[in-house]
Amino acid sequence: MNDGLLLALPVVLPALLFAALGLAWLLDLRPSEAAVGRATSTCWALAVLAVAALVLGSLGGLPPPSVEFGRWFFGGGRHVTLALRADALSLVMLSLSASLVGIVAVFSRRYMHRDPGFHRFFILLNMFGAGVMLLFAAEPFELLAVGWELVGAASVLLVAFYQQREAPARGALRVLAAYRCADIGLLAGIALLHHAHGAPSGATAAAVAFCFLFAAMGKSAQVPFSGWLPRAMEGPTPSSAIFYGALSVHAGAYLLLRARPFLDASAWAAGAVVAVGALTALQGALVGRTCPDAKTSLAHATATQLGLIFVEIGLGWDVLALWHIAGHAVLRTAQFLRAPSLLHDHHRLHSGAGGHLTSAGAPFGALLPRPFQDWLYGFALDLRGRGLS
Amino acid sequence: MILPALHAALAVGLVLSAPRSLRTTRWTLGVLWIGACASAAYLSRSTAGAALAWAAAFAPLLMAGVFERPAGPWAAFSLAFFPAQTGLAAAFERGPLLPTALLLNGHLGALTASRLLAALPPDDAAAARPWVVALALFMALASAVLALRETRPRRVLARLAAGQGALILAGLACGNAAAQAGALALGQASAVAMTMLAGVCASLESRVGAALERPGYLGLAAGAPRLATFFAVAALTLAGLPLTMGFPALELLLGGLFEVGPAGLALPVVSALNGFVVLRLFALLFWGPALDAARGMPDALPRERWFLSAAVLFLLFGGLFPSALLP
């Protein structure tokens, strides 16, 4: 099959499935859980095969595949070209995305079984999948922005998945606020690029780099936007895994890797990337120590690693950053997917060790007076404000 | 030709889909009059014709007994002083929602102002353009910031309508082809999306009454998931989400405004704020623990569903194939 078509397949298939499932829901047609699950798994299996073929072709020395579908819209001499291109950076992210979304889709068939929002979850998962594949395969920045926005919208809607409670709704609004801030940077950067006819230099290149850094900070939960990441954990665990462990949070780092020519043109921008990353890593590491539940701890651990990835990008170590992204995404997805079974795992380990596991932090906690320990425990679990301690 | 036909279609759609409690003969004639005046303003080739049609569109709002509640003369008149509509929020809050929204979403003020600008001698027009663009962007930014303070649905819609109108004026006054194409695309997208939002709000008001003004989360998605979906599509269009018509409109407008100068940087900020405000309104209305009144309330009725579905199809078609609708 033609390389261009192979590249388009992983983007188009999830988009078509999203449209079909969404239309069925609006028309009040209710396909069975098994049918939705099978269609999604098949779609992502085909996407993995297509990307694998592209990777094999690339390893065999073929040039980076690309495909162009013409102009999307134009008015007053301005247009967006519908072009996809998969260089080494894109191929790594596409392989990662197709595999992880596929794994999460299979996991979710059981995890979401008989949940009233089963269909809604899979509609949004496929919307996210289409968005993330487009984000990583897009050639022009305008098309990257399309994927970026789709990922953001799916993310907000999934954080508020359990919408009958107030906490997820509040968390989703916090995520929305951070994402909208990030969008300002992306849109301004793209407009500056267009204004410079795609080849900015000097001050314009530095401005583009700073705009993209601002966008990346919001999307990848860097200081001062990092507060949204723990709040996003209100969504279902599989979506937390794929969004905030694996793919969505790395979109900012990917944008910076794509913006390498502009970062190279401005030492100040590169320095700012290092500073932001270092600060986030420090903040994530410190705050993560105080978290009482598994998913929030994982959120802060994710922010810490993203901070380190930013430092690597700022220092120009792109290959290391890319490996770091890949390794981190895979490990964190596994950790998030195991998070609901954490207590079970711990008890099994505890039994296996003959009941000799020392609880984390206990030696330090024992130094404090007992009443203060109780107060701290209640404070950490936010019980005092609700009069429960 | 798209905009005149669109405004006529929106007026007919509102008449067919509005809650039965509103649809008296006078109400129907009043709404159709506003739609006809908006269409006439866009069809008119002269500035005076457009201004006359714009003024005529106000008539039903000023006449007692046409709509369910009077807008009040000051609120209705203040709608005319575009873009500084001081009484806009009051007009939306106290006046008839659907006719006021229909009138505002025509953005006839922006149309008339841009035609006045075009009628000036070339040198005067060239000197005035940057000032008009800057003023319009400032008004859009001010509306977006004011909207952040609002949580009541009608007042939020008022601020959003004012902000969209100011952005359209900025694009039309800009003088370059990309910005004008973007402004016209935004005119279409925001007219449809804002009318959808007003239509859904009117439907919800007819179901839950004054509870819609209650602060906090209302959880109405529990009773009306399809109305929530229609509202979400309209909100995402105003937020500039790709695959809806809001995205090409925003892209073109952004490209065009940047050609003029750094004032264009305000557009991403306005867009981000407007997107946040409208999606926050969606969250407040449809998420959270459900109101007692929301349990067992009817979802979108067939007459509402057909109108809102057609509007969604228009927004998605415009998002996927914008060239078909752009001048």
Please tell me the predicted confidence (pLDDT) of residue B281.
96
Q: Which of B221, B252, B265 sits opposite A75 (nearest CB)?
A: B252
B179 contact residues in A (CB cutoff 8 A):
76
The token duo for B144 is: 């977006």
Domain limits, chain B: 2-324
Task: Write the CB contacts of A137 (distance below 8 Å, at least 6 apart in sequence).
Answer: A7, A10, A11, A84, A85, A86, A90, A94
Please tell me the predicted confidence (pLDDT) of residue B196.
96
Question: Chain A residue with minimal CA distance to B271?
Answer: A184
Q: Which of A76, A169, A184 sits opposite B287 (nearest CB)?
A: A169
Angle at alpha carbon of residue A163, lines to A135 and A219, rounded to 5°: 30
Interatomic CA distance for residues A349 and B158, integer angstroms: 60
Please tell me the predicted confidence (pLDDT) of residue A76.
62
- Contact indicator for A233, A166 with CB cutoff of 8 Å: no
B323 contact residues in A (CB cutoff 8 A):
71, 73-75
The residue ranges of chain B whose pLDDT is under 70 are 70-85, 327
**ipTM value:** 0.88
SS3 per-residue string spanning A25-87? HHCCCCCCHHHHHHHHHHHHHHHHHHHHHHHHHHHCCCCCCEEEEEEEEEECCEEEEEEEECC
Domain limits, chain A: 1-139, 166-340+361-383
B185/A75 CB distance under 8 A: yes
Q: Which residues 156-175 of A are in CB contact (within 8 Å) with B?
A: 156, 160, 163-166, 168-169, 172-173
Interatomic CA distance for residues A209 and B10, integer angstroms: 43
Interatomic CA distance for residues A228 and A181, integer angstroms: 12
- In order of A5, A65, B169, the CA distances from A68 in angstroms are 10, 11, 35
Q: How many Cβ atoms sit within 10 Å of the Cβ of residue A290?
A: 12
The token duo for B227 is: 């109305």
Interatomic CA distance for residues A271 and A268, integer angstroms: 5
What are residue A79's DSSP bridge partners? A74
A312 and B CB contact within 8 Å: no
A73 and B CB contact within 8 Å: yes
Kindly state the DSSP code that residue A358 receives in the 8-state scheme: P
- Contact indicator for A155, A175 with CB cutoff of 8 Å: yes
Question: Chain B residue with minimal CA distance to A146?
Answer: B242
Minimal C-alpha gap between A78 and chain B (Å): 6
Interatomic CA distance for residues A212 and A313, integer angstroms: 13
A377 and B CB contact within 8 Å: no
Question: Chain B residue with minimal CA distance to A143?
Answer: B242
State pLDDT tens for residues B77-136: 666 666 666 778 888 888 889 998 998 888 888 888 888 888 888 898 889 998 999 999
- Phi and psi at residue A127, in whole multiples of 5°? -65, -45
Interatomic CA distance for residues B184 and A189, integer angstroms: 24
Sign of CA dihedral A234, A240, A245, A248: negative
A163 contact residues in B (CB cutoff 8 A):
219, 221, 286-288
Kindly state the DSSP code that residue B294 receives in the 8-state scheme: G
- Residue A200: asked if its preceding bond is cis (omega within 30°), the reply is no
Interatomic CA distance for residues B150 and B156, integer angstroms: 6
Taking phi first (over 0 means left), then psi (-120 to 50 degrees means alpha), and beta for anything else, what does residue B81 get? beta
B259 contact residues in A (CB cutoff 8 A):
195
A177 contact residues in B (CB cutoff 8 A):
276
A6 three-class SS: helix
Interatomic CA distance for residues B252 and B250, integer angstroms: 6
Angle at alpha carbon of residue B242, lines to B240 and B248, rounded to 5°: 70
Number of A to B CB contacts under 8 A, please give it: 126
Interatomic CA distance for residues B75 and A52, integer angstroms: 63
Average model confidence (pLDDT) for chain B? Answer: 88
Profile chain A (389 residues) by mean pLDDT over runs of 10 residues: 85 95 83 94 96 92 86 72 92 96 95 91 96 95 94 94 92 94 93 81 91 96 92 90 88 96 94 97 87 84 96 97 96 90 79 72 73 74 50
Please tell me the predicted confidence (pLDDT) of residue B33.
94
A146 contact residues in B (CB cutoff 8 A):
242-243, 247
A160/B287 CB distance under 8 A: yes
Closest CA to B232 of B312, B162, B155, B170: B312
A75/B283 CB distance under 8 A: no
Interatomic CA distance for residues A144 and B216, integer angstroms: 36
A138 three-class SS: strand
- Contact indicator for B254, A130 with CB cutoff of 8 Å: no
Q: Which of A73, A156, A177 sits opposite B248 (nearest CB)?
A: A73
The token duo for B282 is: 């969606």
Mutation site for A-interface testing, chosen from B277, B284, B287 by largest number of A Cβ within 10 Å = B287
- Contact indicator for B108, B50 with CB cutoff of 8 Å: yes
Please tell me the predicted confidence (pLDDT) of residue A387.
47
B255/A194 CB distance under 8 A: yes
CA-CA-CA-CA torsion for A35, A38, A41, A47, nearest 10 degrees?
-90
Q: Which residues 118-157 of A are in CB contact (within 8 Å) with B?
A: 142, 145-146, 149-150, 153, 156
- Contact indicator for A93, A330 with CB cutoff of 8 Å: no
Tally DSSP H helices, then E strands, for chain A. Answer: 17, 2
The token duo for B302 is: 């067939």
Burial of B294 (0-12, 13-18, 19+ CB in 10 A): buried
Q: What is the CA radius of gyration of chain B?
A: 18
Kindly state the DSSP code that residue B81 receives in the 8-state scheme: S
- Contact indicator for A273, A310 with CB cutoff of 8 Å: yes
A347 and B CB contact within 8 Å: no
A309 three-class SS: helix
